Amino acid sequence: MKDLENFTEFYALYNSEHFKERLTSISSSSKLPEEKVSELKKTIERRISQLKALKDYVKQITPLIGNKMANDLLISIDANIESLEVTDKTLKGMMDSITADGFDLLKENVNTLNDKMFELDNIVAKIDSNFEDSLYYSVVSGAVTIDELESMKNKPGLSDEKIDMIEKTVERLTKEKEQTAEAEDQAEQQAVEDEKGNESETTDEVVEETIAVPSVSDGDAVTETVVDELQRRLDQIVYQPGMNYAQTVAYVRAEYELEQLDKQIEALKGKEKLSFKESVLLNQLVNQSTDLMLMLQAMNLSRKEQRREGQIFDVNQRLDEQNARIQREQEQRETYQSRTLQFISLAREHRLTARMEQIQAHMTRIQSNQRTSSLLAFDKQYKRLIRKSRRKARGQVVTQRATEAIEELRALRNDVVNEINNVRADVERFIHRPELVDHLREKPVTLNAQPVPIMLPEVDELEATIARAA
Amino acid sequence: MENALVVKNQDGKEVTVNVIDIIEDTVNNKQYVCYNFTEMDGVFISRLVETEEGYSLETVTEEERDAVESSLAQIVPEE
């Protein structure tokens, strides 16, 4: 970090107001004296040498700020150097004849240079403010390994805050590395399955497609490769719960475009001589690259903000849940209170009902007693009548019984009379003549049948009786 | 035996019976003989029928027996 502070200080000196004022004063004068132009040329040469020194310095601190960031800085510095060189060349021409067009061109170059310096200043400030992200992207871009980053925290001069940032970054990267390893295992399994289905697609073709670098001279095939590469990267995006998919896609696209711009800038830088149009194009490309880089950083910041917003949302949600729980508890408490009141009123009602039942029972007893006393009075009042009635009934019964007895006696008398009549009739019907036995002896008597016994007294008594009757 | 009477049974043997009473039913115009045997206890009754050769003693019906019994009971004093 000390290196970074030195770098910032160094760059601040480079971007001093004194230098700007000098350039402005030179460019604002309507007529440029020769000594001023020569002074300006010397200043530009000194500035170029300072920029080269800055370039070397950036190369030294590349492991700290990350390969990508370092490349961006180097590209910006190179663009500035080239602008200065262009300005220097222009000044050489101006030494011979200074024209109004040349002056305008110089003014434009100075303004461009100032803008670039301002952008460089911003980049350096952001490097300082996003130290943790810079560490993270330095490992992600492959400039530094995790072990190297971990060993950096032992370097002298680092504050505790920065050491904590390095440790956090190492932890985060280790976790991501493990997740990536798992994802790769799954992807390998998937690839093995896919390979079984599509054996025609060879690994070489894939590699070729991946490392294909677009150049200015390439035609539609290159464009197709570029599109394929971008599509491949977009396909590698794995959706995870909570991620902003659209933003991730935009980020990948911007990153890819930045790489393409870098490649074009490298291609232009590779040329020995640049025409004026090419130098302007280079400036534009550098501007675009810087804009994209800033946009990527802004997107990173936006991601952080989104995460923060997500955390705030979670906190709010928890707060809402807690409020809802408190409200539920209050409702339950109110319900409990209302139930308690209801219970008390029910208990009171129950007591009153019991008391009312007691009173009703008492009234019923009183009414029953009254009824009993009334009945007793009634009984007493009409007892005589009952007695009289009984007596009368008894007399009627006696009379009825006497009548019935008389009737029975009459019936008996009739029966007796009838019996007597019957007896009399029988007596008159059957005539006993035992003396006729003498008449029977005169003729023979035959016993044809079985004699039938009859139930009668002894023979002697019977004979005597028959004799009396005869 | 004051009222002894010799009768022939179906085997042709002669048996002597003691005639106790000869009862005449004036309503039905029938006669019944009430008798007993010397060798047997009890009183028996048969209907007396006059034939060409003499008399025969026939078996009485239940009704005839009941009627004769009641007639005899009426004249027998109860103790």
pLDDT band at A455 (very low <50, low <70, confident <90, very high): confident
Quote the pLDDT of residue A217.
43
Give the end of a domain, one of A166, A188, A210. A188
Token duo for residue B6: 């010799």
Q: Which residue has 């904590």 as its token pair?
A: A164
In order of A115, A171, A174, A184, A248, the CA distances from A240 in angstroms are 40, 20, 19, 16, 11
Quote the pLDDT of residue A200.
45
Each residue of A334-376: pLDDT tens digit? 888 888 888 888 888 899 999 999 999 999 999 888 888 888 8
Where does A193-325 show beta strands of DSSP type E? Answer: none
Quick check: is A263 in a domain? yes
Chain A residues touching residue B74 (CB < 8 angstroms): 423, 426-427
Token duo for residue A338: 């209302």
Do A182 and A225 fall within a single domain? no
d(CA A434, CA A413): 35
Quick check: is A215 in a domain? no
For chain A, give the longest Cα–Cα distance: 223
Quote the pLDDT of residue A19.
53
Say yes or no to pLDDT of A232 above 60. Answer: yes
* Interacting residues of A290 by C-beta distance below 8 A, sequence separation 6+: A72, A76, A119, A123
Contact B27 A433 (CB under 8 A): no
Query: Per-residue b/e over B8-20, b at no fewer than 16 CB within 10 Å?
Result: beeeeeeeebbbb
In this structure, of A43-47, A451-455, A459-463, the range with the lowest mean pLDDT score is A459-463
Q: Are B18 and B1 in contact (CB under 8 A)?
A: yes
Report the first-to-last Cα separation within chain B, whole angstroms. 27
Q: Are A102 and A87 in contact (CB under 8 A)?
A: no
When divided into structural domains, chain A yields a total of: 2
d(CA A124, CA A469): 179
Read off the pLDDT of each residue in A383-395 and give the average, rounded to a whole number. 85
Q: A100 CB near a chain B CB, below 8 Å? A: no
Give the end of a domain, one of A354, A370, A391. A354
Do A179 and A229 fall within a single domain? no
d(CA A296, CA A125): 16
Quick check: is A184 in a domain? yes
Could you list the residue range(s) of the whole structural domain that residue A257 is in?
221-354
Nearest CA in chain B to A433: B22
- Of the candidates B34, B57, B73, the beta carbon closest to that of A445 is on B57
Do A245 and A341 fall within a single domain? yes
Q: Are A429 and B26 in contact (CB under 8 A)?
A: yes
Q: How far is B63 from chain A (nearest CA, A)?
A: 12
Each residue of A151-161: pLDDT tens digit? 877 776 677 77
Radius of gyration from C-alpha coordinates of chain A: 69
For chain B, give the longest Cα–Cα distance: 44
Token duo for residue A405: 């007895």
d(CA A281, CA A288): 10
Query: Per-residue b/e over A265-299, b at no fewer than 16 CB within 10 Å?
Result: bebbeeeeebeeeebeebbebbbebbebbebbbeb
When divided into structural domains, chain B yields a total of: 1
Q: Nearest 5 degrees, angle CA A162-CA A168-CA A172?
A: 145
Burial class (CB in 10 A: 0-12, 13-18, 19+), A466: buried
pLDDT band at A15 (very low <50, low <70, confident <90, very high): low
To the nearest whole percent, how much of chain A has pLDDT over 70?
74
Read off the pLDDT of each residue in A20-49 and give the average, rounded to a whole number. 66
Instruction: Give the Cβ contact number of residue A421 at 10 Å.
Output: 10
Q: Which of A48-52, A80-84, B55-59 has the highest mean pLDDT?
A: B55-59
In this structure, of A105-119, A185-199, A234-248, the range with the lowest mean pLDDT score is A185-199
Contact B57 A448 (CB under 8 A): yes
What is the helix (H) or strand (E) element at residue B35, kind and residue range?
Answer: strand B30-37
Contact A466 B75 (CB under 8 A): yes
Quote the pLDDT of residue A216.
42
Which residue, among A428, A438, A445, A455, would best test binding to B if mutated, counting the most B CBs under 10 Å from its CB?
A: A445
Quote the pLDDT of residue A6.
53
In this structure, of A86-100, A270-284, A300-314, A351-365, the range with the lowest mean pLDDT score is A86-100
Q: How far is A392 from chain B (nearest CA, A)?
A: 47
C-alpha closest to that of B6 among B34, B31, B30, B37: B37
Beta strands A445-447; B4-8: pairing state: parallel
d(CA A153, CA A168): 11
Quote the pLDDT of residue A215.
42
Quote the pLDDT of residue A97.
54
Quote the pLDDT of residue B46.
92
Say yes or no to pLDDT of A84 above 50. Answer: yes
Token duo for residue A342: 């209801």
More confident residue, A211 or A300: A300
More confident residue, A29 or B40: B40
Quote the pLDDT of residue A413.
92
C-alpha closest to that of A2 among A69, A57, A72, A79: A57
Quote the pLDDT of residue A34.
65
DSSP bridge pairs for B44: A453, B35
Quote the pLDDT of residue A269.
84
Contact B76 A428 (CB under 8 A): no
Q: Which residue has 């027998």 as its token pair?
A: B76
More confident residue, A355 or A139: A355
d(CA B33, CA B16): 14
Do A52 and A93 fall within a single domain? yes
Q: Are B5 and B19 in contact (CB under 8 A)?
A: yes
d(CA B45, CA A449): 11
Do A160 and A301 fall within a single domain? no
Quick check: is A202 in a domain? no
Do A35 and A126 fall within a single domain? yes
Q: Nearest 5 degrees, angle CA A84-CA A62-CA A285?
A: 40
Radius of gyration from C-alpha coordinates of chain B: 13
How many A-B residue pairs are in contact by the CB < 8 A criterion?
140
Task: Give φ, ψ of B12 to 5 degrees.
Answer: 90, 0
Beta strands B14-25; B30-37: pairing state: antiparallel
pLDDT band at A30 (very low <50, low <70, confident <90, very high): very low
Task: Give φ, ψ of B20 to 5 degrees.
Answer: -90, -40
Could you list the residue range(s) of the whole structural domain that residue B43 is in?
4-75
Read off the pLDDT of each residue in B53-70 and give the average, rounded to a whole number. 89
* Interacting residues of A431 by C-beta distance below 8 A, sequence separation 6+: B23, B24, B26
In this structure, of A87-96, A164-173, A323-332, the range with the lowest mean pLDDT score is A87-96
Q: How far is A407 from chain B (nearest CA, A)?
A: 28
Quote the pLDDT of residue A397.
87
Q: Which residue has 């206890």 as its token pair?
A: B41
d(CA B62, CA A454): 11
Say yes or no to pLDDT of A319 above 60. Answer: yes
Task: Give φ, ψ of A157 to 5 degrees.
Answer: 100, -10
Quote the pLDDT of residue A32.
53
Token duo for residue B65: 């027996």
In this structure, of A318-322, A362-366, B41-45, the range with the lowest mean pLDDT score is B41-45
Q: Which residue has 């794995």 as its token pair?
A: A238
d(CA A347, CA A355): 12
What does the mean pLDDT of chain B come to? 85
Q: Which residue has 């009153």 as its token pair?
A: A352
